[in-house]
């Protein structure tokens, strides 16, 4: 095997790929061939590096140089200067927002400093389409250890000792869940990977599948061995084409090696794996709806018990875990349960991957130990709020979660503390909001989503969320009435109590938590007919400060509906009846005379 | 990369593949590696640094040495002594060799990189 002196890793996560990474990769191959370097420098496509904001990302080893926002036209310079002559192309280095310093090395970037990448250790580091690279990083060693050296009961014990809890949101202890399924009588059992990630702003599971598909496969096989299942399904939404493609390649390569199939590693263990593409309904993330969908039925939840561990897919005992949970399994087996349990808080062990989005400087994918504070995530890893505006809240757990505010900044993040604060861990979506976000509008956004995704089985969820949304819409349009707040609270609590599954059971959360922490904003909309953040269009009013106006006519010339009148060098006036609140006058005023409010 | 479609039939088979594939990602790890740095400024290239690079890569391949990081660097100002080649063993000072020729490379690799003995006649100095 030839020795490559340098490796050029080009991020091909969905973010970077849509930002043009495949063209960057082609350009590298072309330029290296031109210089005759193609035999000494390896170019590979990897999974997500997490810093999606700055993609496409290129990392050059052995130096570990981190280039951000690389365009195909930059490639010739990187090849000529860095790879040929050894001079780092400083203009393409990542610029740290806090210090405004250029950072040369991957490992010196503060974004990664506070992170603890275990599940993501291969993401962005290996070529996900090359099974040999996974094997070279201890891949399938955990499976080998389980099959050869451990009994199924010992594997379950190890999972219990590790303290791993379901990463899909519920936080149920994984070892215990496996124990139920293992103890369930039956000669045919199934394991399922829930990859139906659908919360707005969440992309943790997608990135793991794209960056390290074999880890999920290996985790499922270990689970299959521990619980006596010989068949598995990965339920992944069709909206994740790249993840599905990588999984297909991974399953094909593992099958060619005999790591999937019959008599695996000569131990008599058989395991086959299927991918089931879902149509992207949010409710199919609920386990009973998911199984119905695999069976070819309409994706609707059913009452539990019986739990899937007793009567699951096609009536057989079944265990369902989320992508991140499965990906943790091989690491726990290789490094030992104690090593895993040493990280995190008393009741929440290990790490959690979050998709950090919204108004932070470094959006992206982060993996942090349980027990880290919101402050560390938002201000240290996230680099603070864009434009150094004031922090307002984080929406954690997506449409099923709640918001956390200033007073929670130093809260240690784990399952219990988040639930106590009215939010949930959820699958890991973390949306940061600043003073420019209207909380009523934010709650409306999430409720619009859950209302649309409600499967319609339970009346409280189907009709109740619709009513809540009607009320929120009316409030944002300035038509709210004083009783609306009490109605929202009443409806919200009823829907939570009376819905069958977690979709309805959590759908009112964004409204209830924003009401708890930002009741004054609701009141401003209802009583004063004002949106304090200046977001809700119907409540906005643009006017011109006659003392500041210099009569330059710029506003009038840029108004698309010609509703501004006034003579040159005299103060102008906006006709409120005609104004469409587009804000063009404000954007164009050279002296800041246009005021919003 | 996966030209061998041989089945993995035991844990031993898996370990063998791991050993064989270890170098696939080894260039990406920074732990305990010997570093070789070749001067690739205009002066270095003019003095034949490309040939030195080729010789280094060939020698490492022949000797099956995977724990060596080969880097390039720009001109450091001693143009008349190019090609310059530096060797840094973990925990040891940076040793600079000057006017290196392809035949010198094999001596530097076997003596210094493998056995830790500095090749005195090509030595320029050490930078701490």
Q: What is the pLDDT of residues A418-473, one digit of tens each?
A: 988 888 888 888 999 999 999 999 999 999 999 999 999 999 999 999 999 999 99
* Residue A179: pLDDT over 50: yes
Q: What is the pLDDT of residues B47-78, one digit of tens each?
A: 999 999 999 999 988 888 878 888 888 888 88
- Over residues A512-524, mean pLDDT: 95
Q: What is the pLDDT of residues A474-496, one digit of tens each?
A: 999 999 999 999 999 999 999 99
| Low-confidence winner among A81-90, A170-179, A436-445 (lowest mean pLDDT) | A81-90
Cα(A284)–Cα(A294) distance, rounded to whole angstroms? 10
**Token match 């998709």: residue?**
A355
- Over residues A18-47, mean pLDDT: 92
Task: Indicate where chain A has its CATH 3.40.30.10 domain(s).
Answer: 6-110
* Residue A109: pLDDT over 90: no
Query: For residue A581, what pLDDT is reported?
Result: 87
Q: In which order are the strands placed within the sheet that holds B123-127?
A: B68-73, B34-39, B85-88, B94-97, B123-127
Q: Does A295 touch chain B (CB under 8 A)?
A: no
Chain A interface mutation, best of B3, B16, B21, highest count of A Cβ atoms under 10 Å: B21
Query: For residue A540, what pLDDT is reported?
Result: 87
User: Kind of pairing, strands A391-396 and A429-434?
Assistant: antiparallel
Residue in chain B lying closest to A125 (CA):
B28
| Low-confidence winner among A176-190, A411-425, B22-36, B86-100 (lowest mean pLDDT) | B22-36
The pLDDT-based confidence of B2 (bands split at 50, 70, 90) is very low
| Beta-bridge partners for A309 | none
- Over residues A266-289, mean pLDDT: 94
Distance between B98 CA and the closest CA of chain A, angstroms = 17
For chains A and B, what is the number of CB pairs under 8 angstroms?
108
Query: For residue A1, what pLDDT is reported?
Result: 47
Q: Does A262 touch chain B (CB under 8 A)?
A: no
Residues of B at the A interface (Cβ-Cβ below 8 Å)? 1-2, 5, 7-11, 13-14, 17-18, 20-25, 27-28, 30, 33, 35, 37-41, 45, 53, 57, 60-61, 66, 69-74
Task: Indicate where chain A has its CATH 3.40.50.11540 domain(s).
Answer: 131-341
Chain B interface mutation, best of A135, A256, A259, highest count of B Cβ atoms under 10 Å: A135
Q: What is the pLDDT of residues B82-109, one digit of tens each?
A: 899 999 998 888 999 999 999 999 999 9
CATH class assigned to A131-341 = alpha beta
Cα(A248)–Cα(A547) distance, rounded to whole angstroms? 67
| Low-confidence winner among A98-107, A195-204, A308-317, A407-416 (lowest mean pLDDT) | A98-107
* Residue B3: pLDDT over 60: no
Task: Indicate where chain A has its CATH 3.30.70.20 domain(s).
Answer: 541-596
A197: CB partners within 8 A, 6+ apart:
A203, A204, A205, A206, A237, A240, A285, A323, A427
Query: For residue A424, what pLDDT is reported?
Result: 86
- Quick one: CATH architecture of A439-527? Up-down Bundle (1.20)
Residue in chain B lying closest to A149 (CA):
B11
| Beta-bridge partners for B68 | B34
Chain B interface mutation, best of A86, A133, A144, A221, highest count of B Cβ atoms under 10 Å: A86
- Over residues A174-202, mean pLDDT: 94
**Token match 């959820």: residue?**
A426
ipTM: 0.82
Cβ–Cβ under 8 Å, residues A94 and A66 = yes
Distance of CA A273 to the CA centre of its chain: 25
Q: Does A180 touch chain B (CB under 8 A)?
A: no
- Over residues A278-306, mean pLDDT: 94
Query: For residue A130, what pLDDT is reported?
Result: 92
Segment (H or E) for A27: helix A21-35
Q: What is the pLDDT of residues A367-396, one digit of tens each?
A: 999 999 999 999 999 989 998 899 999 999
Per-range mean pLDDT, top range of A167-171, A286-290, B115-119: A286-290
Distances (CA, A) of A587 to A537, A545, A577, B37, B91: 16, 15, 20, 54, 59
Q: Which two tokens stand for residue B73?
A: 């660097």
* Residue B4: pLDDT over 60: no
Query: For residue B17, what pLDDT is reported?
Result: 85
User: Residue A69, exposed/middle/buried by CB under 10 A (0-12, 13-18, 19+)?
Assistant: middle
Name the fold adopted by A541-596.
Answer: Alpha-Beta Plaits (3.30.70)
Query: For residue A231, what pLDDT is reported?
Result: 97
- Whether residues A136 and B25 touch (CB distance < 8 A) is answered with yes
Q: Does A61 touch chain B (CB under 8 A)?
A: yes
Query: For residue B1, what pLDDT is reported?
Result: 44
CB-CB neighbors (< 8 A) of B61 in chain A: 2-3
Task: Give A351-434's CATH code, choosing from 3.40.50.1820, 1.10.150.120, 3.40.50.300, 3.10.20.600.
Answer: 3.10.20.600
Query: For residue A509, what pLDDT is reported?
Result: 93
Segment (H or E) for A103: strand A102-103
* Residue B127: pLDDT over 80: no
- Whether residues B8 and A257 touch (CB distance < 8 A) is answered with yes
Residue in chain B lying closest to A265 (CA):
B10
The pLDDT-based confidence of B128 (bands split at 50, 70, 90) is low
Cβ–Cβ under 8 Å, residues A575 and A564 = yes
- Quick one: CATH architecture of A6-110? 3-Layer(aba) Sandwich (3.40)
Closest among B127, B117, B110 to B39, alpha carbons compared:
B127
What predicted TM-score, i.e. pTM, was given to this entire model?
0.89
CB-CB neighbors (< 8 A) of B27 in chain A: 4-7, 42, 61-62
Show the domains of chain B with their CATH numbers: 28-127 (3.40.30.10)
Task: Indicate where chain A has its CATH 3.10.20.600 domain(s).
Answer: 351-434
For chain A, give the percent of residues with pLDDT over 90. 78
């Amino acid at each position: 095997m030839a020795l490559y002196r340098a490796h050029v890793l080009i991020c091909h996560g969905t973010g970077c790929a849509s930002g043009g990474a495949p063209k960057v990769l082609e350009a590298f191959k072309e330029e290296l061939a031109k210089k005759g370097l193609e035999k000494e420098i390896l170019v590979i496509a990897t999974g997500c590096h997490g810093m999606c904001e700055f993609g496409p990302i290129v990392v050059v080893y052995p130096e570990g140089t981190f280039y951000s926002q690389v365009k195909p036209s930059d490639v010739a310079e990187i090849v000529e200067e860095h790879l040929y002559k050894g001079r780092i192309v400083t203009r393409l280095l990542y610029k740290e927002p806090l210090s405004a310093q250029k950072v040369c090395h991957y490992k010196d970037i503060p974004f990664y400093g506070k992170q603890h990448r275990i599940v993501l250790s291969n993401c962005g580091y290996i070529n996900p389409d090359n099974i040999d690279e996974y094997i070279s990083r201890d891949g399938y060693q955990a499976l080998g250890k389980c099959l050869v050296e451990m009994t199924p009961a010992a594997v379950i014990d190890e999972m219990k000792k590790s303290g791993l809890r379901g990463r899909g949101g519920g936080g149920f202890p994984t070892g215990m869940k496996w124990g139920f399924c293992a103890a369930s009588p039956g000669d045919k059992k199934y394991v399922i990977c829930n990859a139906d990630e659908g919360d707005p702003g969440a992309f943790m599971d997608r990135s793991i599948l794209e960056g390290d598909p074999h880890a999920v496969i290996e985790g499922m096989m270990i689970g299959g061995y521990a619980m006596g299942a010989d068949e598995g399904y990965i339920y992944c939404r069709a909206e994740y084409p790249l993840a599905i493609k990588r999984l297909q390649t991974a399953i094909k390569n593992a099958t060619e090696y005999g790591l999937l199939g019959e008599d695996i590693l000569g131990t008599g263990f058989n395991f086959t794996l299927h991918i089931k593409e879902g149509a992207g309904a949010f409710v199919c993330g609920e386990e009973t709806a998911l199984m119905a969908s695999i069976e070819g039925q309409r994706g609707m939840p059913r009452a539990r018990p019986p739990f899937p561990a007793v009567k699951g897919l096609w009536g057989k005992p079944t265990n369902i875990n989320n992508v991140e949970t499965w990906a943790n399994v091989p690491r726990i087996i290789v490094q030992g349960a104690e090593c895993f349990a040493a990280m995190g808080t008393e009741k929440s062990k290990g790490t959690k991957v979050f998709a950090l989005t919204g108004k932070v400087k470094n959006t992206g994918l982060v993996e942090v130990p349980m027990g880290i504070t919101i402050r560390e995530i938002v201000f240290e890893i996230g680099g603070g709020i864009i434009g150094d505006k004031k922090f307002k809240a984080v929406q954690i757990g997506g449409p099923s979660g709640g918001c956390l505010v200033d007073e929670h900044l130093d809260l240690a993040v784990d399952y219990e503390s988040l639930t106590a604060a009215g939010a949930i861990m959820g699958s890991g979506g973390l949306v940061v909001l600043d003073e420019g976000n209207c909380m009523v509008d934010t709650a409306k956004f999430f409720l619009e989503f859950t209302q649309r995704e409600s499967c319609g089985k339970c009346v409280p969820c189907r009709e109740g969320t619709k009513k809540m949304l009607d009320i929120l819409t009316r409030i944002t349009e300035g038509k709210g009435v004083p009783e609306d707040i009490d109605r929202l609270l009443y409806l919200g609590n009823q829907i939570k109590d009376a819905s069958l599954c977690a979709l309805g059971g959590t759908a009112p959360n964004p409204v209830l938590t924003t009401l708890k922490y930002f009741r004054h904003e609701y009141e401003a909309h209802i009583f004063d007919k004002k949106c304090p953040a200046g977001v809700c269009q119907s409540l906005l009013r643009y006017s011109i400060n006659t003392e500041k106006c210099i009569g330059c006519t710029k506003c009038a010339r840029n108004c698309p509906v010609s509703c501004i009148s006034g003579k040159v060098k005299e103060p102008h006036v906006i006709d409120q009846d005609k104004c469409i609140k587009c804000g063009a006058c404000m954007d164009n005023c050279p002296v800041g005379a246009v005021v919003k409010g | 990369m996966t030209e061998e479609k041989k089945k993995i039939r035991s844990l031993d088979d898996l370990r063998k593949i791991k050993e064989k594939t270890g170098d696939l990602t080894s260039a990406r790890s920074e732990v305990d590696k010997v570093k070789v740095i070749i001067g690739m400024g205009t002066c270095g290239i003019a003095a034949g640094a490309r040939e030195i690079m080729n010789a280094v890569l060939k020698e490492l391949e022949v000797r099956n040495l995977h724990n060596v990081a080969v880097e390039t660097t720009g001109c450091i100002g001693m143009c008349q002594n190019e090609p310059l080649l530096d060797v840094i063993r973990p925990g040891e000072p940076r040793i600079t060799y000057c006017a290196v020729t392809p035949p010198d490379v094999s001596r530097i690799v076997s003596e210094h990189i493998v056995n830790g003995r500095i090749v005195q006649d090509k030595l320029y100095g050490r930078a701490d």
